[in-house]
Structure 1
Amino acid sequence: MALRPQGGQDPLLVRDPDYSEVDATLRKWGIDPDKIQDLQVIDPNRMDAGYWKFKDTNSSAIGVLARPQKMTYCFGPGTGMGDAVRNETPDVIKRHIRGRRTIGTETTIGIEASIEAEFFEVVKASVTTSFSQTWKQETESEDYLDIDIKPSHMSWLELQPVMREIEGDFIVLVCAGFFHAAWRFSGKVTSPGREGDLQNVVTVRDTQIPSEEGKTLREAASPLSSPSPFVISDGALILPAWIAEAKWGATASRTSIDR
């Protein structure tokens, strides 16, 4: 498997939306899809939770419609998963490293927790309608590998998940009788999602930990009476991979995994 770039890479895949259904609904209620940017901007957090799901009875319509732009697939930033292992012996050791990581959804819109569920239901419906895709708010990835670790070196697994980004407008409609009103808010939603042969990438990170720093880690390792994220076991010092990623990730080497 080829090693993937960490950031600024070209999109892995770009999909165009099908606007026909949402645009037909907007026109039905007097909204010109080409003039959405002229609508007044609303803070979505001011909406009551019960008014997010779009309902159209022909005599009235209320709720939120999403009109996304392109769906872009790219690799997300690398994130450590499972444990990081430092070799405390004078010889090369082989360790079985397993990692599991849950990747969730982020949005630039700043949706408050009280209405997250309603907002994500709108996103889910939009992805189905405009892209004929299934949308998941989060997904769990797991991998494992037997790796050789040199003396005083630390190794861990890093996950680069395939992420899809949707940027677009969300139109709030309130139409009843002669009263027609519409507002909008806009932003990006980035969520885990794969399509076709796109696959997450798992790499091995490795760095040498200087002796003084290794000594500091050993001294911080947990005695039975004092819990610590650092544990020494069978010639290895073990700590959460996310700590290793944050502390030494900038200088650690990266090696692709060939399956």
Structure 2
Amino acid sequence: MALLERHPDNAEIDTMLQRYEIKPDLVSSLPVIDPNQIDRADFVFHSWGTGASRGNHLGVVGRPNKMSYDYGCPVPMGDVVINLSPNPISRRMTGKKKFGAETSFSMSATVEAGFFKAVALSVSSAFSEAWQSDQVFSDSLDVMVCPRHMSWLEFTPVIRTVESDFVYFFALHHEAIYKARFSGSVNAPGLEGNLGNRLSIRDEPIPNDVAEALEASVPDLRNEASIRRDGETLTLPPAFASLLSAEGRASVKLKLPLDRGHLETGT
């Protein structure tokens, strides 16, 4: 069940479609077009010719059906700190993560920019909400890492999903002589009301086999850019969180020790 669900007010969008003799309640019956066949410039509605009232009109108009909010998948954010010592250690963990929009249909990078402009216009009109396709989140926490434990920050964003029809048409004066549509959902980070993203500390004991392999390898570690050593503490890049976690170890085999100064993985 979604955290929040909203239904659109498409009055302004429907008025625009009706102006070009496109019936809003029949949009779902329009022929389907592959969005990759649309020129990226044509995703933004525009007019030319003898003026807006009597000229030619071309573009894509989004008509949303629903917008919902739910938590996305948790992702590691920031380095993984591994404490091999018998004493707890204190670390300030800092992380940054960029999230982009995803669509339920295939779309080339060349048309995405124009398409997301059409999404932003439809969301603004139907829900009176701003739309951002890309967002960067950053945060930091002071963390106490227990002896023979590993810790990292885990970020869970609120994801906004817009389910919509997108009408592509060419109108001569006020009559759409060509009209088609593509439909699907668009996901991107987004907040509304009291909803908030989650930042948590992931803490796990180091499995004995991993600890033994790491301890055996510590003396051989070079000054690798991806691995930092401070006494009996190792700091690894965020990508290793999914490998060292209980879920990751169930699906990925870690090839240790670190005989060449970096972790190798294999299936």
Structure 1 residues 129-162: Cα deviation after superposition (integer angstroms, max 9, x where no partner): 1111111111121221122212221011100111
Q: Does 1:58 align with 2:49?
A: no
Which residue does 1:15 correspond to in 2? 6
Contact 1:79/1:242 (<8 A) preserved: no
Alignment correspondent of 2:252: none
CA contact (8 A) 1:217 1:230 kept: no
Matches within 5 A, 1:169-248: 169-177=165-173, 180-217=177-214, 219=217, 222-224=221-223, 227=224, 229-248=226-245
1:207-249 deviation line (CA, Å, top 9, x unaligned): 112233134345387513xx36332224311112232124415
Residue 160 of structure 1 aligns with an amino acid whose one-letter code is: T
Q: CA deviation at 1:55?
A: 2.1
SS at match of 2:63: strand
1:102-117 counterparts in 2 under 5 A? 102-117=98-113
Total equivalences in the alignment:
241
The gaps in structure 2 that reach 5 residues or longer are 250-267
CA apart distance, 1:193: 0.9
Q: Which amino acid aligns with 1:185?
A: F
Quote the RMSD (CA, aligned, Å): 2.0
Unaligned runs of 5+ in 1: 1-9, 253-259
Q: 1:155-209 CA distances to partner (integer Å, 9 max, x unpaired)? A: 1110011110001110001111566110000111001111122111111111112
Deviates more, 1:199-208 or 1:213-222: 213-222
Deviations 1:69-105 (A, max 9, x none): 1110111110000111010111122221111111211
Q: Which has the larger radius of gyration?
A: 2
Indicate conservation of the 8 Å contact 2:154/2:200, yes or no: yes
User: Which residue does 2:153 correspond to in 1?
Assistant: 157
- Higher alpha-carbon deviation: 113-122 or 176-185: 176-185
Runs of 4+ in 1 over 4 A off after TM superposition: none
Q: Percent identity?
A: 36
Q: TM-score, normalization: structure 2?
A: 0.84
Alignment of 1:134-153 (within 5 A): 134-153=130-149
Is contact 2:152–2:203 with CA below 8 Å preserved after alignment? yes
